[in-house]
């Protein structure tokens, strides 16, 4: 069966289709030992040998996992210091990759897959995929600062804001849940830090409508309905 090389490598979990096109332009992909440069190149998935940076790639079944990430785990596939990574926690024969990142001590919803297009859909800013975090601050959030965070502040020379801020405790205004569309590193912590607050704990409660309905440190496969709902919702709203 002939299939375009960018779709083939995306299905293998190498990268999104757009990223694969960049790899082709850089001369990093070969088919049967011949480096390719044409973006429209097709590959026989049953016969051809495809390599990326000299390493062979196989078209394995796409898999999707939800991990309720614990503290003290690195959001990567390997760590030079030998620390535990999120992929160490999942028993799976296929190479998988985290969708986006969570900080070392941040807990909560983390998706992992070998579907490059799925990962791209969820992480590219233009798709505006919602993220909700439970936050514990070092001091109560004032109403004035709440309004500032909702209207927007400058972060990395870009106007940044929370879509909503809800206090999760009637008595303690340092416990709250924030919603945003941002996936930049340390985004939530840096937003509060700009106004003089320190985030003491951070848990991603919701990502793309997926909630961690399993204990901390556990994982499960996403259902077909969950995967399809995400793909349909965020692909169609950006056509």
Give catalytic residue positions.
103
Q: Could you report how far apart the first and last alpha carbons of the chain are, in Å?
A: 28
DSSP 126-184: GG---EEEEEEESSPPPHHHHHHHHH-EEETTEEE--SEEEES-SS-TTEEEEEES--S
C-alpha separations of 159 from 18, 124, 150 in Å: 27, 17, 11
Confirm if 134 and 229 have CB atoms less than 8 A apart.
Answer: no
């Amino acid at each position: 069966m002939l299939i375009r090389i960018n779709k083939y490598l995306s299905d293998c979990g190498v990268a999104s289709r757009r990223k694969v096109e960049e790899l082709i332009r850089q001369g990093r992909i070969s088919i049967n030992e011949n480096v390719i440069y044409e973006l429209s190149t097709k590959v026989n998935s049953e016969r051809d040998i495809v390599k990326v940076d000299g390493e062979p790639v196989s078209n394995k079944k796409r898999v999707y996992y939800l991990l309720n990430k614990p503290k003290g785990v690195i959001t990567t596939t390997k760590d030079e210091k030998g620390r535990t990574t999120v992929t160490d926690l999942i028993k799976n024969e296929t190479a998988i990759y985290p969708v986006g990142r969570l900080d070392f001590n941040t807990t909560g919803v983390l998706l992992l897959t070998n579907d490059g297009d799925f990962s791209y859909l969820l992480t590219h800013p233009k798709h505006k995929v919602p993220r909700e975090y439970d936050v514990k601050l070092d001091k109560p959030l004032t109403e004035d600062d709440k309004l500032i965070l909702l209207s927007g502040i400058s972060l990395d020379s870009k106007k940044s804001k929370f879509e909503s801020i809800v206090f999760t405790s009637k008595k303690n205004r340092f416990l709250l849940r924030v919603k945003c569309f941002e996936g930049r590193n340390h985004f939530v912590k840096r937003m509060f830090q700009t106004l003089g607050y320190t985030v003491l704990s951070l848990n991603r409660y919701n990502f793309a409508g997926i909630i961690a309905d399993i204990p901390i440190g556990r994982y499960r496969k996403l259902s077909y309905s969950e995967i399809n709902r995400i793909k349909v919702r965020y692909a169609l709203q950006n056509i």
